[in-house]
Chain A
Amino acid sequence: MSNATLDGAPISIEAAYDHAAGILSAARFPVVAGLATDVAGARAAILLAERLRGAFDHLASDELLADLEAMRSFGMFVTTANEARLRADVAFFVGPGLTDRWPALFERLALDRPPHYSPGAARKAIWLGPKRGEAKVEGLELDATAATEDSLPGLLAAVRARVGGRPIALESATAKRVDALAETLKSAKFGVAVWSAAAVDGLVVEALQGLLTDLNLTTRFSGLPLGARAGAVGVGQVAGWMTGFPPRTGFGRGFPEHDSWRFDANRLVESGEADAALWISAYDGEPPRWERDDVPLVTLAPGGSGPKRGLFIEVGRPGVSHDALEFAQEVSSFVLRKASAPASAPSVAEAIKAIDAKLPESF
């Protein structure tokens, strides 16, 4: 059985679905936000946003779009963790927070073993700008170069310059370090750069891709992005085939329009452009960032995370309480996650279907 509350007080699930449909259908421009859900939940949510002529956004769109923006304005080299594991003779880690984003990173890459395709070769692992203590990995010799958030872009640009044989003006110890990095990258047979857009600026992603482009003139080098949290990569894919666009897309005119500023859910709510919000956060109940509390809010989240304000409908956790299709970092594709602790709470898709069924026919 599912639980539902209205401003903290229990209500029946049927009344909750009715109330949710009422809030969303009364709005002129509702936003379907959060979108932390699986494939089925994303499909249902995007169809609902289209039906309501609202907008949709994901809670980790900033990270998702940092990678996408680099691709669509410049280009992108990417590979899979599997290829990195089997083939990479140089692993180039860029920026902090990589193991925070993906704790299994080093286990998956298995850099302590020789590459499958060059059994005799030693692997090199280098890290530009790790967090303090992050570059200590048991059984792995990691050559770390310190960088701060401020110095990382400049160092990366210097490395790119040296890879291209262009001069740099840095003090000699740093210049030497940069030269050594550039040499290591150029010596790779198949190198892989690893980064997380959660921890670096979008321009760092673009600079890194520029570096990969240059390296590929003479050797092979690809990238392994650590995808954004809360299912963002999968939701981005679903949005792509359903609408042509990633999240931060609106249907106000009856067809999708994508604008990463205009359809930012946080901005829409804070500015009052959105006059109702459906917040979907099925993994861990992460709440919205907006502070405004006078915009009607419907929350779909796991039990225990119920907000004090607005309407709350408990949903199951994808891959925990019900089977879920999700994008998996370890294989760079969609997979089935079987329920690890099956429970009866509805999935996001089921909850949305129930709300959708209560919308007036004019929608």
Chain B
Amino acid sequence: MLTCLRGGRVVDPATGTDATGDVYFEDGRIVAKPDGREPDKTIDVAGHIVMAGAIDVHSHIAGGNVNTARLLLPEKHRAIRARLAGTPLSTAKWSTYETGRLYAQMGFTTVVEPAMAPHQSLQTHLELADTPLLDTGALTVLGNDDFLLELLRKGESQQAINDYVARTVEATKSLGLKCINPGGVAGFKENMRVFGLDDVVPFYGISSRQIFQALQKATQAVGIHHPLHLHMNNLGIAGNIETALATIDAARGLPLHLAHVQFYAYGKEGKNGFSSAGAQFAEKVNANKNVSIDVGQVMFSETVTVSADVLKQYNSLAGANPKKGAIFDGDANGGGIVPYAYQISNYYNAVQWAAGLELFLLVKDPSQVFFTTDHPNGGPFTTYPELFALLMSADLRAQVLARLPADVLEQTTLPSIKREYTLYEIAQMSRSGAARLFGFTDRGTLAPGSVADIAVYKDQRDRAGMFRKAALVFKDGVQIVKDGEVSRYVRGKTLHTSPAYDRAIEKRLDSYYDELYGLPRSIFDLPAAALPNHDAFAEVSCRS
């Protein structure tokens, strides 16, 4: 069936479009206006914004650590309303089903879960398979795993590391590599309580710098499209801007994605010894085109921090609100779950909020910076509409600034920044740029041939309201949202990539697992064929 969305304002940066026009789709794909054929269905979207479905590059929506957070905090997510017909469990708060529904209502159609532990990949995939309405993907976490650290300790070739990386990404069906406090989590098991870029992991005798550089090189060498996705050392600590700047220098011009960098944009100025270094960080990003960032914006809300940076999470336990937490020393990274409440009246939280916005507004190239709240760490993903509104209005920011503790204003450049994001720039960040970051060629745009993932928003002055409830959303050409409500479930695909490698690594891993764990390697492998969505995997090509 040929459908036409008629007369909307089409904002599609991938094709350089920002104009009133029509969008056609048929059989789940966007098509060019066909000659000599009338559409079977025409929907009048005059007065609306038409964009491709949005892509979230970093949101913790699935896996053992997220599930531990659910089970840790039953009092924080009591459900309050019954679901609509055809959408089982869609109002079960914080369930995978609700996650799919809430994203879809905002016009999001693709979400990347950024922290899948290789030994727990089956649970991550099971949860993603139970997340309706979205295409999903995951990043595999390496960098505190014994096999890699052993390769580095023994000074083995980069080729061996490349094969291991490619094999792990392929076998865990992910989109690439994440590295979380490289070496620091292994160090925590040896009772280290701080771990910097040049600290050395006990037993292995290698530094964090060596680990991330090796993984960065491997990611490039095997052709994984997404650059190494790095969660740096020293997250959340005053003065950690030094770590961030040194890490960017250590990237030596190779592609690198730095995750939730707001948590690293801290100086030591002011009487509290804590200030925003957002401007300094942004300047460094502007000068290093090889680097992309997502922000990890803090939004004032009750939330929970979920991270495989176990060292950092242990150190956060003292500030838990409510006062409880879970610390999991896993086979490699593990995880730490610590509830937290960001408060507008709290000096530190207010500096964090300002630092994040500085990063958004001072990084010049919209293809280098991505919105995230590092859901749920800086705030839940449901705060994105408020975040977009803040980026689009200096007035709105001024209103919030006026409510912050007064001494915060001395420690941030935010009050002086008048820039306002345009809809086009919002679409660059949330659609075209995000697709390019992962090498998606079939989404993030309304170009003919792309999947018909389309979000239609009523153009209104209340930008937060506009982005919170899309007027219409289509997933693979099927209408799933009307007036901000999900009307039916469709099942999404799991996106992954399959870099090539020398299969000899398999044999080596076989004997490694036998010797180290006394278990067959197969027990750790993702049995993709046994997944309920085994027929819904879609391959993202590697760089040639």
Query: Which A positions have Cβ atoms within 8 angstroms of B?
Result: 39-40, 43, 47, 50-51, 68, 71-80, 82-83, 85-87, 108, 110, 116-117, 189-190, 216, 219-220, 222, 236-238, 240-246, 253-258, 323, 325, 328, 330-336
Contacts and interface: CB of A to CB of B under 8 A. Distances in A.
A74 B519 CA distance: 34
Nearest to B120: A333
Given A255-B82, A255-B83, A83 B331 contact: yes
Given A47-B88, A220-B188, A331-B119, A82 B327 contact: no
Most buried by B among A75, A86, A330, A332: A75
Contacts of A330: 519, 523
A53 B94 CA distance: 19
Contact of B191 (A43, A110, A220, A242): A220
B72 A72 contact: yes
B73 A110 contact: no
Given A77-B326, A87-B189, 7 more contacts: A76-B326, A83-B189, A244-B79, A255-B79, A331-B519, A334-B122, A335-B122
A39 B95 CA distance: 16
Contacts of A243: 89, 92, 95
Interface string B211-251: 00000000000000000000000000000000000000000
12 contacts: A40-B532, A71-B324, A72-B72, A116-B516, A220-B191, A222-B329, A242-B95, A244-B79, A258-B74, A323-B530, A325-B126, A334-B126
B251 to A, nearest CB: 30
Interface string B319-343: 0100011111111001000000000
Given A220-B188, A325-B126, A79 B95 contact: no
B314 A216 contact: yes
Nearest to A258: B74
A325 B329 contact: no
B214 to A, nearest CB: 21
Nearest to B75: A72
B126 A78 contact: no
Contacts of B119: 331, 333
A241 B127 contact: yes
B134 to A, nearest CB: 14
A245 B74 contact: yes
Contacts of A87: 189
Contacts of A335: 122, 523-524, 527
Contact of A242 (B80, B97, B327, B328): B97
A79 B330 contact: yes
B16 interface: no
Interface stretch (B62-70, B428-436, B498-506): B62-70
Contacts of B252: none
Interface in B515-536: 516-519, 523-524, 527, 530, 532
Most buried by A among B77, B95, B188: B95
A242 B89 contact: yes
Closest 6 CB pairs of A and B: A254-B82, A255-B79, A336-B527, A79-B329, A334-B122, A75-B324
A78 B516 contact: no
Given A257-B79, A325-B126, A334-B122, A241 B67 contact: yes
A249 B289 CA distance: 51
Contacts of B123: 237, 333-334
Contacts of A189: 190-191
A43 B73 contact: no
A43 B130 contact: yes
A28 B490 CA distance: 30
Interface of B: 62, 64, 66-67, 70-74, 77-83, 88-89, 91-98, 119-120, 122-123, 126-127, 130, 146, 188-191, 203, 314, 317, 320, 324-331, 334, 516-519, 523-524, 527, 530, 532
Most buried by A among B146, B326, B334, B530: B530
Contacts of B88: 47, 50-51
B132 to A, nearest CB: 12
Contacts of A220: 188-191, 329
A39 B96 CA distance: 15
A40 B533 CA distance: 12
A333 B122 contact: yes
A336 B80 contact: no
A221 to B, nearest CB: 10
Most buried by B among A117, A216, A323: A117
B381 to A, nearest CB: 16
A78 B68 CA distance: 11
Contacts of B97: 242
A83 B329 contact: yes
A189 B329 CA distance: 14
Nearest to A234: B123
B324 A72 contact: yes
B91 A255 contact: yes
Given A43-B532, A74-B324, A241 B122 contact: no
A353 to B, nearest CB: 12
A190 B329 CA distance: 11
Nearest to A243: B92
Nearest to B513: A82
A87 B191 CA distance: 12
B330 A240 contact: no
A167 to B, nearest CB: 26
A346 to B, nearest CB: 17
A236 B70 CA distance: 11
A78 B326 contact: yes
Contact of A256 (B92, B96, B523): B92
Contact of B327 (A68, A76, A110, A244): A76
A256 B70 CA distance: 13
A255 B324 contact: no
Most buried by B among A40, A73, A78: A78
A190 B189 contact: yes
Contact of A68 (B71, B130, B518): B71
Nearest to A324: B530
A86 B516 contact: yes
Most buried by A among B79, B82, B98, B320: B79
A244 B74 contact: yes
A235 B527 CA distance: 19
Contacts of A257: 78-79
Contact of B93 (A244, A246, A336): A244
Given A76-B326, A220-B188, A236-B71, A244 B95 contact: yes
B79 A72 contact: no
A331 B523 contact: yes
A77 B327 contact: yes
A356 to B, nearest CB: 11
A80 B330 contact: yes
Given A216-B314, A333-B122, A50 B516 contact: no
Most buried by B among A219, A254, A334: A334
Nearest to A76: B326
Contacts of A77: 326-329
Contacts of B66: 241
B122 A331 contact: no
A255 B80 contact: yes
